[in-house]
């Protein structure tokens, strides 16, 4: 660099810095004008819609006394490849050192379809408020002021090298209605104290592993001490180990697996409220404490079909208490 160029640079640098600083100021001003401040100064109706969401405000939605129930069925003529599912399972089990103890796991459990009604078992169904900027105020349900809204102890048993239940909906935390967001802008979750125990009643080893989607806690896997449904606290408290909390459910479920038996598979959904259910062996579900008015979104998911509703849910009237869905296709 010549001396002239160096001198010019020395002169220009402060000038450049000043203009960058000025640009920065006006940029900030624009941001404020288009963002949250606009709402307060009455600067037009445009601002209280989408910009409000960008501000990340969370509005509580009251839960109520409504019930939504229904049946999830598999479309007539659509059949999972049961033979292939069984063959895959058998291949994995036969290779395993515990093959004799795990023989009862030969029976596939991914698709449990009732022969006469075609109702599908183990479909997870849950509700969410109409908009992402809202949350169900589940504080009273968590504190059991409104009857038993959820199971404080959920047990994941594995008596035959299979998880029982195979699909669970959990309620590890609710959003604090008095302060829905943390200083960092994340939902302000309050733990419900719900336990999610893995137990192992048999002599063979299982290491129960949770693979948790981003934002829902940490993935972990460890050997389950000998324990039964009757004394689940001797097993593993998976909620505590993985620090489970609600997350963006469009990412899919928490996958439950076992490193020792690679066919073992289960799914868990961690929700910020208990307005959720898993279908029984006739494909039936029931969700209580549904808001008395307004709209909600319903979500339906099966491990062999994925989301039956759109990933963002289907908007329904909260009073529309009957919700049946048909699984049109298998993965
Ligand atoms: Cu296992």
- 180/203 Cα distance (integer angstroms): 46
**How close is the Cα of 204 to the center of ligand 1, in Å?**
8
**How close is the Cα of 259 to the center of ligand 1, in Å?**
7
Which pair of tokens denotes residue 182?
A: 């943390």
**How close is the Cα of 25 to the center of ligand 1, in Å?**
59
Q: What angle do CA 286, 130, 179 make, to 5 degrees?
A: 100
What is the reported pTM? 0.83
At residue 146, the pLDDT reads 63
Q: What is the DSSP string of 63-116?
A: --SEEEEEEEEEPTT----HHHHHHHHHHHHHHSTTTTTTGGGGS--S--B-TT
Q: Which of 256, 251, 263 is nearest to 238 (CA)?
A: 256
**How close is the Cα of 205 to the center of ligand 1, in Å?**
6
CATH says 59-327 is which class? Answer: mainly beta
Phi and psi, residue 13, nearest 5°: -55, -50
**Exposed (0-12), middle (13-18) or buried (19+): which is 203, by Cβ within 10 Å?**
exposed
**How close is the Cα of 94 to the center of ligand 1, in Å?**
14
Neighbours of 64 (CB within 10 A): 16
**How close is the Cα of 150 to the center of ligand 1, in Å?**
28
**How close is the Cα of 199 to the center of ligand 1, in Å?**
11
At residue 281, the pLDDT reads 97
Q: What is the largest CA-CA distance in the chain?
A: 92
- 33/40 Cα distance (integer angstroms): 10
Phi and psi, residue 282, nearest 5°: -105, 5
**How close is the Cα of 161 to the center of ligand 1, in Å?**
5
First to last CA, the chain: 65
**How close is the Cα of 31 to the center of ligand 1, in Å?**
54
**How close is the Cα of 169 to the center of ligand 1, in Å?**
21
**How close is the Cα of 100 to the center of ligand 1, in Å?**
13
**How close is the Cα of 264 to the center of ligand 1, in Å?**
6
At residue 291, the pLDDT reads 98
Phi and psi, residue 237, nearest 5°: -90, 100
**How close is the Cα of 158 to the center of ligand 1, in Å?**
8
**How close is the Cα of 292 to the center of ligand 1, in Å?**
44
**How close is the Cα of 174 to the center of ligand 1, in Å?**
31
**How close is the Cα of 237 to the center of ligand 1, in Å?**
17
Q: Is the peptide bond before 326 cis (omega within 30 degrees of 0)?
A: no
Tens-digit pLDDT profile for the chain (331 aa)? 444 444 444 444 444 443 433 333 333 333 333 223 333 333 333 333 333 344 678 999 999 999 999 999 999 999 999 999 999 999 999 999 999 999 989 999 999 999 999 999 999 999 999 999 999 999 999 998 767 899 999 999 999 899 999 999 999 999 999 999 999 999 999 999 999 999 999 889 999 999 999 999 999 999 999 999 999 999 999 999 999 999 999 999 999 999 999 999 999 999 999 999 999 999 999 999 999 999 999 999 999 999 999 999 999 999 999 999 999 999 8
- 306/329 Cα distance (integer angstroms): 10
Residues in the chain: 331
**How close is the Cα of 41 to the center of ligand 1, in Å?**
61
**How close is the Cα of 238 to the center of ligand 1, in Å?**
15
Whether the CB-CB separation of 268 and 245 falls below 8 Å is answered with: no
**How close is the Cα of 20 to the center of ligand 1, in Å?**
60
At residue 148, the pLDDT reads 84
* H/E element, 61: strand 59-62
At residue 16, the pLDDT reads 41
Domain ranges in the chain are: 3-55, 59-327
């Amino acid at each position: 660099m010549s001396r002239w160029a160096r001198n010019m640079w020395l002169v220009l640098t402060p000038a450049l810095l000043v203009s960058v600083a000025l640009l920065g100021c006006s940029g900030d001003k624009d941001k404020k004008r288009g963002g949250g401040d606009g709402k307060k100064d009455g600067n037009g109706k445009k601002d209280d819609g989408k910009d409000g969401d960008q501000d990340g405000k969370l509005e509580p939605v009251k839960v109520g006394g409504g019930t939504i129930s229904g049946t999830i069925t598999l479309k007539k003529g659509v059949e999972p490849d049961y033979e292939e599912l069984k063959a895959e399972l058998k291949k994995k089990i036969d290779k395993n050192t515990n093959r004799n103890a795990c023989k009862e796991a030969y029976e596939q459990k991914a698709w449990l379809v009732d022969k006469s009604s075609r109702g599908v078992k183990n479909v997870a169904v849950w509700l969410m408020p109409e908009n992402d900027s809202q949350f169900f105020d589940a504080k009273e349900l968590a504190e059991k002021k409104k009857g038993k809204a959820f199971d404080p102890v959920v047990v994941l048993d594995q008596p035959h090298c299979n998880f029982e239940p195979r699909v669970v909906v959990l309620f590890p935390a609710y959003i604090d209605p008095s302060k829905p967001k943390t200083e960092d802008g994340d939902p302000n979750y309050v733990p419900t104290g719900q336990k999610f125990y893995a137990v192992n009643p048999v002599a063979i080893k299982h290491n129960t592993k949770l693979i948790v989607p981003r934002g829902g806690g940490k993935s972990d896997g460890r050997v389950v001490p000998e324990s039964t449904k009757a004394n689940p606290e001797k097993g593993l408290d998976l909620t505590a180990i993985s620090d489970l909390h609600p997350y963006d459910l469009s990412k899919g479920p928490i996958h439950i697996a076992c490193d020792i038996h690679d066919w073992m598979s289960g799914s868990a959904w961690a929700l910020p409220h208990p307005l959720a259910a898993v279908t029984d062996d006739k494909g039936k579900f029931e969700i209580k404490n549904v808001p008395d008015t307004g709209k909600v979104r319903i979500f339906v998911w099966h491990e062999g079909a994925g989301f039956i509703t759109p990933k963002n849910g289907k908007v329904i009237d909260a009073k529309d208490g009957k919700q049946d869905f048909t699984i049109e296709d298998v993965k």
